[in-house]
């Protein structure tokens, strides 16, 4: 794909010091759910370190706990046990408000179903991510334009999601994930709804951004082809990490 990500490392704020340093440090991480009197341990004592700038794939069948782990990594959920440090902060026990703030400033998301706002244009969808950070509306649009250019959609700024192809929508989502210059992009099955060619294009875009922006990427996927494109593959089963290619 003709993705042409510009070098944004110069603009990246010093949210997290130095590439290669640990971004995530998980120790004995637990997440249990109570459902109708039954306790389900979705994540069971996970120890994991993800370094800054890494591109990690998280694999496993349904019910393996990879989605729960992804939510914990994305600060969308809080653990019930153990610790999870992200960019030198312990996410365990943080309030919803604090987690929201961390997500707004330091984490980007890419979803399987793109999750674009149907009533906003490509540009609007990217800009809306900057709204919680009190970025001036003019500046938001400028940055959105810039990011969409980076993902090769400079000519689609004013298109509604319904007028874009799946691959284009996902690239808009990637631009949105980058809007607040995050340290990490959490991608949940980013190619799950795309054909294999488009999936490759999207992955190429992500890989290019990782290199240009120095952003850490965690991808949950079933797709062997996608996983093979990452630096490190972590396999889960029954809430535990069964295999880590880095180990």
Partner 1 sequence: MFSPGYAWNELRRRWARTLVTAIGLAAGVGLVMGIIGVSEGLSDAQNRVLSPLGSVGTDIIVTRTIAPTTDKTSTTTTTTPVREVVGPGGGGGGFFAGNVPGASLGSSSQAATLLNNNASVITDLAKLGPAGTKFTHDFFVPGTLITFPSVAVSDVAKLPDVTSAVGALSLQALHESGTVPKITNKVKEGGQTIKTTVTPPVLTPTQTANERACIQKLVQGNLSKDSGTSGSSGTSGSSGPSGPSGSGGGGPPPGGKHRFQIFVGGLSSNPAFEKCLTPAQISYNQNVVVPEQTITQILKPPTTNTATSSYTVAGVNPTSGTTGLITKSQLVSGTWFTSNPADEVLVNTAYASTKKLKVNGTITINAKNYKIVGLVAPTLTGDVSDVYFPLSTIQSLASAPKFVNEVLVDVKSASDVAAVTTEIKKELPGATVLTSKSLADEVTGSLTNAHKLANDLGGALAIVVLLAAFLIAGLLTLSSVAKRVREIGSLRAIGWTRGAVVRQVIAETVGIGLVGGLIGIGIGVGVCAIIGAVGPGLSITATGLTVGASSVSSLLGQSTTATATTIVHLSAPVHLTTILLAFAGALVGGLLAGIAGGWRAARLAPASALRDLG
Distance (Å, rounded) from C-alpha 119 to C-alpha 206?
Answer: 25
- Does the protein bind partner 1 through residue 78 (CB under 8 A)? no
3 state DSSP class of 215: coil
Nearer to partner 1, 103 or 210 (CB): 103
- Under the binding rule (CB under 8 A), the answer on residue 129 touching partner 1 is yes
Provide the minimum distance between the beta carbon of 104 and partner 1 in the complex, in angstroms, as a whole number: 2
Number of residues that bind partner 1 (CB under 8 A): 36
Query: Among residues 120, 139, 118, 140, which one has the least CA distance to residue 130?
Result: 140
| Strand ranges, E, within the chain | 22-35, 38-51, 55-59, 81-86, 89-90, 107-110, 184-188, 216-220, 232-237, 240-244
111 contributes a contact to partner 1 by CB under 8 A = yes
67 binds partner 1 (CB under 8 A): yes
Sheet holding 81-86, edge to edge: 38-51, 22-35, 81-86, 89-90
Residue closer to partner 1 by CB (options 22, 166) is: 166
Of the pair 18, 97, the CB lying nearest partner 1 is at 97
Based on the shown chain and the rule CB under 8 A, indicate whether residue 34 belongs to the binding site for partner 1: no
Tell me the torsion sign for CA atoms 222, 57, 214, 102: positive
Contact between 100 and partner 1 by CB under 8 A: the answer reads yes
Q: Is 137 in the site for partner 1 (CB under 8 A)?
A: yes
Nearest-CA neighbor of 236 among 79, 66, 46?
Answer: 66
Pairing between β-strand 81-86 and β-strand 89-90 as defined by DSSP bridges: antiparallel
117 binds partner 1 (CB under 8 A): yes
Region near partner 1 per CB under 8 A, out of 2-10, 12-20, 51-59, 104-112: 104-112
If one asks whether residue 115 binds partner 1 (CB under 8 A), the answer comes out as yes
The reply to whether 51 sits near partner 1 by the rule CB under 8 A is no
Q: Which residues bind partner 1 (CB under 8 A)?
A: 67, 70-71, 74, 76-77, 96-97, 100-101, 103-105, 107-109, 111-113, 115, 117-120, 124, 128-129, 131-133, 137, 160, 176-177, 180, 188
């Amino acid at each position: 794909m003709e993705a042409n990500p510009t070098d944004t490392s110069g603009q990246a704020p010093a949210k997290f010091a130095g590439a290669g340093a640990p971004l995530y440090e998980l120790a004995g991480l637990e997440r249990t759910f109570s459902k109708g009197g039954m306790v389900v341990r979705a994540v069971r004592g996970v120890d994991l370190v993800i370094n800054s700038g890494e591109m990690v794939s998280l694999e496993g069948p349904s019910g393996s706990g990879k989605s729960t782990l992804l939510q914990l990594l994305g600060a969308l959920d809080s653990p019930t046990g153990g610790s999870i440090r992200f960019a030198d902060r312990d996410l365990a026990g943080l309030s919803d408000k604090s987690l929201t703030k961390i997500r707004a400033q330091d984490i980007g998301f890419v979803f399987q179903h793109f999750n674009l706002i149907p009533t906003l244009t490509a540009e609007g969808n990217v800009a809306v991510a900057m709204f919680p950070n009190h970025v001036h509306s003019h500046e938001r649009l400028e940055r959105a334009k810039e990011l969409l250019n980076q993902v090769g959609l400079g000519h689609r700024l004013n298109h509604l999601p319904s007028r874009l192809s799946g691959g284009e929508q996902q690239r808009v989502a990637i631009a949105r994930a980058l809007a607040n210059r995050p340290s990490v992009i959490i991608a949940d099955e980013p190619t799950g709804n795309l054909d294999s060619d488009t999936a490759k294009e999207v992955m190429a875009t992500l890989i290019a951004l990782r290199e240009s922006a120095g952003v850490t990427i965690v991808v949950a996927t079933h797709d062997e082809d996608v996983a093979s494109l990452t630096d490190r593959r972590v396999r889960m089963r029954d809430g535990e990490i069964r295999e880590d290619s880095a180990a």
